[in-house]
Structures are given as structure tokens and as C-alpha cells.
Structure 1
Amino acid sequence: MKKWFWVLAVVLVGCGSNNFNPKPKGFNRIDLKPAQYQVLADSFPFQLEYSTQAKILKDSSWISERYWFDLYYEDLGANIQVTYKPVTNRSTLEEYLGDSYKLTSEHRVKAYAIDESVITLNNGIKATVMELSGEVPTQFQFHVTDSTKHFLRCALYFKTATQNDSLRPVINYVKMDMLHMLNTLTWDQ
């Protein structure tokens, strides 16, 4: 009888009126600092301004190109791959443009949409900008050329498994930095 009494007591105490309220859904806090820019070192065949939050890292791909580098945002986990190639003739330009479109189209498997547009920048240069929607590793990229000497391609990547809708504020923040890069771009003659 004592055994049943204790079981009944535990059940009654355990089933008391607890005021349980579920916690609201939380989101990661992302502190985005006001944008500030610095000029790229003059050892490159082009000039532009890039974010002071980004560190220049040597390109880590298996291809070793002199003017390829990464702009790494350590606090945001973002990486802008910057690739520059000199244009020597019409066929090399066509090859670079083809490679750029090919790299973008490889994301069609996971992309809901790839919006491509040609924009005229503040400096008069025309650039092709591609925005990718969906769970893709790159959400924003562009290529720009003077069609005689210079070709530049940049692509934004994140090294995280976080869903892109959660990253939207960071994507937009870095996208604005990339547009600033484009608007301050000049080619060395």
C-alpha cells in the first residue's frame, strides 16, 4: 500500500499546473558594422576600394594565378573570390566570358533562379551581375571587362551550412560592398 501511495503522490505532484510557455523562435544576432573602405594595393593591374572588414588572402585554389585573391570577412564567414586575367585577344576574352557563365550555370541544380543583368556603373563601366536564389553556395557574382586588356570576376561564397534566408542580411551587406568595389574600379593602362 505504501508503494502505491508514493506512486500516486509522484504522479499528482508531477501533473501539477506548470505554467509552461514555449520560447519564441530565435535567430542568430548578426552585428553589421557601418561600411568603410580602403584602396587595393597598387601592385594590381586594376584599382578598387574594398571593405576594411575584409582581409586579403592568397588564392587557395589549385590554379596559381598572380592576380587571384580572396577577400575574407572573418566575422561574417563570407569570402569574395577575386579573379583577374589579362585579355590578350578576342578569343581569350570569349574564353573568360564562357568560363564565367559556365561557373554560374553549374549552380542551376540547386538555384531557384539566376537573375542576370548588365548595369552601368558610376564610373561608366558596364558590368554583368548575377544574383542566384536558393540554397546555393554563391548568391552574388559579377564579371566586368574593358574588352581589350582586362577581365575581372568576383563571386561571393559562404563556408557555412546556414540556410540562405537566414544569411540574407549578410548577403545584402557584402553585396553592397561588392557593388562599391565595382563603382570604384579603374583599370591600369
Structure 2
Amino acid sequence: MKITSFFFLLLTSFFTLASCQDHTLIKPSAMLRLDYPQPKYHTINTDCPYTFSVNEITTLIQKKNCGVNITYPNMKATLYLTYQDVRNNNLDSLLQDAQKLAYDHTIKANSIPEQPFVNPDKKVYGMFYMINGNAATQAEFYVTDSINHFLNGALYFDAKPNFDSIYPAVVYLREDIRKLMETITWK
């Protein structure tokens, strides 16, 4: 009878030890799904010499000298707009500064494709820079009428740049920037 108790104790100990081991559970691969709302745009009218359309999910902060910060709270991103008058033949220096701002990110960027923008009916001409890679900004642009007005913008996220992680938001926000460029009107 003592042998049976010994074997029972031995089997109980074995099953107890075997059940305490960590088992590896293989999970199916999955992709992160980020859904952003279908953009709805409305026109912004300010005291500044320009108007444009923005996504309804944004918050606008009017700055001095007709600058505007367009924030995307859910994406933790901000599009910073800076306005300057074209005067005393300073258009060349404004264009060089805007191009330099975009290309200062070549250290971290994988590529910086440019897309020219021309709307002769509204007298809006500009350039859109898509900055791909772990750079501080993911998009920059400028628009001008070449005579009186110059507006440039830069998109920044409130996070360390990791292009793979923020890419879906970057694609969404680049479309908003294109819409802004397409709808800008000088007063």
C-alpha cells in the first residue's frame, strides 16, 4: 500500500511540475489598422490676405503676422503656416529659404520628391515636398502669387519620427495639404 501512495505522490508531482511550464502560443500575424474619418472641408476666412479650406477635424490657432497652426489632435500633428509679404524683390530669397527648409532634412530623409503646383486662374504657384524617412517633418510646401503673397508650411508630429509607424497618418495629412494648396485664394 505504501508503494501505491508513493507512485500517486510521484505522479501528482510530475503533473504539477509539467503544468507550471510556459507554453508558447503561436498567434496569427496581424496588421495595425488605422481608420481616419473621410475628410470634410470647410473654408477658413481670416483677417489675413488669404483663405483656404481645412479638414473639419482640425483646430486652428491664429498666430501673429498671419501665421496659422493647424493642429490634428487625434494624430498629434501640426501643420505650421507662415505668411510673408513679397516686397522689394525678395521673392528669390523666400523661394530659396523654403527650398532650404525642405532640403535641410536630407540627413534623415530617404527621399524628397517634389510636386510643382500651378493654378493660373487663382494665381497660385508653388511646390510640395514629400519628405520620406525618419526626418523631423514629413511634408513641406510653399505657395505664392509671385507679386504680393508667400505662404509656406511644414508638417510635424509630436513624437519621435518613425516613418513606418506614422506613415498612414502622413498619407492622410499630405492629402489635406494638397487640398489646402488647391483651395488657397488671395484677397
Q: TM-score interval w.r.t. the shorter chain?
A: 0.7 to 0.9
Shift of 1:125: 2.7
Among candidates 13, 18, 34, match of residue 19 of structure 2: 13
Letter in 2 for 1:171: V
Shift of 1:169: 1.8
1:74 is aligned to 73
2:46 is aligned to 42
Shift of 1:126: 2.5
> 1:126, 1:52 → 2: CA distance?
25
Offset from partner CA, 1:124-156 (integer Å, 9 cap, x none): 632211111111121111111111100010111
Distance 1:19 1:95, change over 3 A: closer
Shift of 1:7: 6.6
> 1:99, 1:182 → 2: CA distance?
19
CA RMSD of aligned residues (A): 2.6
Is the partner of 2:69 in helix, strand or coil?
strand
Distance 1:14 1:178, change over 3 A: same
Distance 1:85 1:111, change over 3 A: same
Letter in 1 for 2:18: L
Shift of 1:13: 3.3
Shift of 1:39: 1.4
Is the partner of 2:116 in helix, strand or coil?
strand
Which deviates more from structure 2 when the two are superposed, residues 146-155 or residues 119-128? 119-128
1:62 is aligned to none
1:108 is aligned to 106
> 1:125, 1:57 → 2: CA distance?
24
Is the partner of 1:40 in helix, strand or coil?
strand
Query: What TM-score, normalized to structure 2?
Result: 0.83
> 1:48, 1:13 → 2: CA distance?
65
Question: Structure 1: 5+ residue runs without aligned partners?
Answer: 60-64
> 1:147, 1:171 → 2: CA distance?
29
Distance 1:104 1:22, change over 3 A: same
Letter in 1 for 2:48: F
Offset from partner CA, 1:146-169 (integer Å, 9 cap, x none): 111000101111112362222222
Query: What TM-score, normalized to structure 1?
Result: 0.82
Mapping 1:22-171, distance limit 5 Å? 22=27, 24-25=29-30, 27=32, 29-59=33-63, 65-90=64-89, 92-121=90-119, 123=122, 125-161=124-160, 163-171=162-170
